[in-house]
Amino acid sequence: MNIIVTGSSGFIGRALVDKLKLNGHSVLPFDIDQGDITGPNSLDIFSMMHVQHVFHLAGKTFVPESWKNPALFYQVNVMGTVETLRFCKDHRIPLTYISSYLYGKPEYLPIDERHPISAYNPYSHSKLSAEQIVRYFSEQFSIPTTIFRPFNAYGPGQSALFLIPEIVEMAMNPEIEVIEVNDLRPRRDYIYINDLVDALILSVSGEPGIYNIGSGYSTSVRELIHETLSLLHSDKPYRDRADERQNEIFDLYADISLAKSQLGWKPVTTILEGLRTCIEFNHHNYEGEE
């Protein structure tokens, strides 16, 4: 099967491309090297390649940057999605779209797909807008679409701007004497990259719809640090800055029963196993620097 992956060089994109190839698919990557996803007819370079599925992962993702340059986030995340949908409409190609966590402060736990959605920063508003456009195109033009709302994805090779790779780096770096984070209390639902990719691939032949993808349970920042140090057999001290964010959410986790029942998917990687692979990845990096 010929499959386009936009955002193919990103954290999720790289893992998805590798797994698709391993499964025998022909992957057509699209990233900045191939062109601007927001440009008119940018995906038409694939028009003659008998594309059978599109994964749309391309987008801007770093929340703090979205406050500094919101226009860029709307341009890439919204208009890039419109261009991708235009290509799918013109060629009658099913689409899998990676949305975002759009639930805001939980009204109840676990959070299912019926939970009210809202935007609370320019990044999430751009993703909410793009998701609504995906749903509109699907209804108006009969494009089979699957929308995934992943919770906190993590794994080897993720940017240190994100919490888990930052914790692993601080725990392993001998030059850092104390692990310091903003707040030890918040709990989040962390989904390992391989489990997320497995769900994405099931959408090629699975039931279209909107699906939460998470582990189904929450882990606190304190627990992440404790488990990381335990795996490293380290007693490095840690602390927080008592820097509670405004409107902080202290617990959230996904109801993943719909993905289980409709796609036959379930996560298989525990947080301990996932942290171990992140540590092993960093260990190889440190060895390479020697």
Peptide bond into 110 cis (omega under 30): yes
Residue with tokens 């902080």: 248
Q: Distances from the Cα of 36 to the Cαs of 33, 43, 58, 73, 159, in angstroms? A: 8, 9, 10, 14, 22
**Residue range 117-137, pLDDT digits in tens:** 998 899 999 999 999 999 999
Q: Which comes out higher in pLDDT, residue 239 or 247?
A: 239
Average pLDDT on 162-172 reads: 97
Q: Distances from the Cα of 56 to the Cαs of 3, 121, 145, 148, 258, in angstroms? A: 11, 21, 11, 11, 21
Which pLDDT score, from 0 to 100, does residue 289 have?
52
Q: Distances from the Cα of 32 to the Cαs of 13, 46, 61, 126, in angstroms? A: 13, 15, 15, 20
pLDDT greater than 90 at residue 58: yes
Average pLDDT on 196-215 reads: 97
Rounded distance, CA 152 to CA 253, Å?
10
Reported as a pLDDT band with limits 50, 70 and 90, residue 286 is low
Superfamily of domain 2-289: NAD(P)-binding Rossmann-like Domain (3.40.50.720)
Rounded distance, CA 14 to CA 249, Å?
30
Rounded distance, CA 116 to CA 99, Å?
15
User: What DSSP state is assigned to residue 286?
Assistant: H
Per DSSP, the chain holds a count of helices (H) and strands (E) of 10, 12
Q: What is the pTM of this model?
A: 0.95
Question: Phi/psi class of residue 99: alpha, beta or left (left: φ > 0; alpha: ψ in -120 to 50)?
Answer: beta
Contact between residue 257 and residue 221 where contact means Cβ atoms under 8 Å apart: no
**Residue range 22-52, pLDDT digits in tens:** 999 999 999 988 889 998 999 999 999 999 9
Give the three-state DSSP class for 123. Answer: helix
Contact between residue 253 and residue 215 where contact means Cβ atoms under 8 Å apart: yes
Q: If you count them, how many residues does the chain have?
A: 290
Rounded distance, CA 64 to CA 172, Å?
26
Average pLDDT on 92-117 reads: 96
Reported as a pLDDT band with limits 50, 70 and 90, residue 241 is very high
% of the chain with per-residue pLDDT over 70: 98
Average pLDDT on 61-74 reads: 93
CA angle at residue 129 from 29 to 206, to 5 degrees? 55
Average pLDDT on 51-79 reads: 95
Average pLDDT on 5-18 reads: 97
Q: Which comes out higher in pLDDT, residue 244 or 69?
A: 69
Least confident piece of the model among 5-9, 117-121, 211-215, 241-245: 241-245
Which tokens go with 125?
């508003």
Which pLDDT score, from 0 to 100, does residue 62 have?
85
